[in-house]
């Protein structure tokens, strides 16, 4: 899967110490914290960042500074941009989901990218194939690094978005984002699946959907940390990406998640990216909270690799 090789998750060596490393994609000029009425500057920054992303696409080991994806689940662009400013250079990616996207629209994505950060657009597209394909193309044009679709939309829908985005990226010379299939939401339980007419065991359902995503050409899946190992065993592609929500540091509130583990447990199980929100964004010092989690991740990586703490490529 060459598309995956262009954006796989090799991480820079300085993330483990929690340093504010400069991403290869970060703009050389600092964006001012006050972003209102800065559309012209944001536009220029966005173009510069997109050019850098495209030029660096052949160097997969510099694409993301670390596995941590911070969820910007807030209700205003001002709150989001303040968090981005405080987390600049710390998180590997920032997640824009339905709440923030509905409140602030595509412009919030452009501004975050213009600040030198990577965006995971978590809108979980699920519609007829043509509609999802066109939405995916617009996500790619927006400059996001990752977006997702619901695997329950079926293989025809997933193939359509994969083909449309790949063709557009090649034709327009823009970086192709990773496309991930959402398997079973982490809020689901066996009882809630039964309620909507799915009689299979929960982990069996996840595995079936993961195989469907792989067959449709997607780059990976969004799956609970409890299903990482079954997915890894089920798919043939060693570079298949697993992005994992439902991750909580020890002692943190579970909120509305049902199937959760700690960051270290998720990394040891084989996750590529960990999505963590409130345990970071609700803290008085979000950057410090993020660094503490990165230390836990690094310790898990060290035990896995026995050396540098850098996740070894799954391309082998």
Closest CA to 157 of 187, 175, 193, 182: 182
Q: Locate tokens 């966005």: which residue? A: 46
Instruction: Judge whether 312 counts as a catalytic residue.
Output: no
Separation CA 312–CA 112 (nearest Å): 28
What is the β-pairing status of strands 146-150 and 273-276? unpaired
Catalytic residue among 26, 95, 111, 124: 124
Count Cα neighbours of 299 within 13 Å in the Cβ-side half-sphere: 10
Tokens of 52: 């850098």
224, 206 contact by CB (below 8 A): yes
3-state SS, 112-146, equals: HHHCCCCEEEEEEECCCHHHHHHHHHHHHHHCCCE
Residues classed as catalytic: 124
């Amino acid at each position: 899967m060459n598309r995956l090789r262009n954006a796989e998750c090799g991480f820079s060596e300085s993330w483990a110490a929690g340093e504010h490393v400069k991403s290869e994609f970060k703009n050389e000029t600092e964006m001012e914290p006050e972003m209102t009425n800065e559309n012209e500057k944001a536009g220029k920054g966005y173009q510069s960042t997109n050019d850098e992303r495209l030029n660096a696409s052949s160097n997969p080991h510099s694409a993301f500074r670390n596995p941590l994806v911070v969820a910007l689940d807030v209700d205003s662009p001002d709150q989001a941009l303040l968090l981005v400013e405080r987390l600049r250079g710390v998180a590997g990616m920032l997640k824009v989901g339905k709440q923030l996207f509905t409140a602030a629209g595509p412009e919030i994505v452009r501004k975050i990218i213009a600040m030198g950060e990577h965006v995971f657009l978590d809108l979980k597209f699920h519609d007829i194939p043509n509609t999802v394909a066109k939405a995916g193309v617009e996500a790619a044009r927006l400059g996001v690094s990752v977006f997702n679709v619901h695997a329950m939309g079926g293989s025809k829908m997933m193939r359509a978005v994969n083909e449309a985005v790949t063709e557009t990226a090649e034709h327009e010379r823009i970086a192709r984002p990773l496309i991930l299939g959402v398997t079973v939401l982490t809020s689901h339980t066996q009882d809630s699946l039964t309620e909507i007419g799915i009689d299979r065991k929960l982990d069996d359902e996840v595995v079936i959907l993961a195989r469907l995503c792989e067959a449709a050409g997607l780059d990976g899946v969004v799956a609970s940390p409890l299903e990482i190992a079954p997915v890894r065993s089920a798919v043939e592609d060693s570079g298949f990406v697993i992005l994992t929500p439902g991750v909580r540091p020890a002692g943190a509130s579970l909120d509305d998640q049902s199937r959760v583990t700690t960051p270290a447990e998720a990394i040891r199980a084989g996750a590529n990216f960990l999505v963590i929100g409130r345990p970071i964004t609700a803290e008085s010092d979000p950057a410090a909270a993020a660094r503490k989690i990165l230390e836990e991740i690094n310790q898990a990586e060290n035990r896995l690799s026995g050396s540098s703490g850098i996740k070894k490529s799954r391309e082998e």
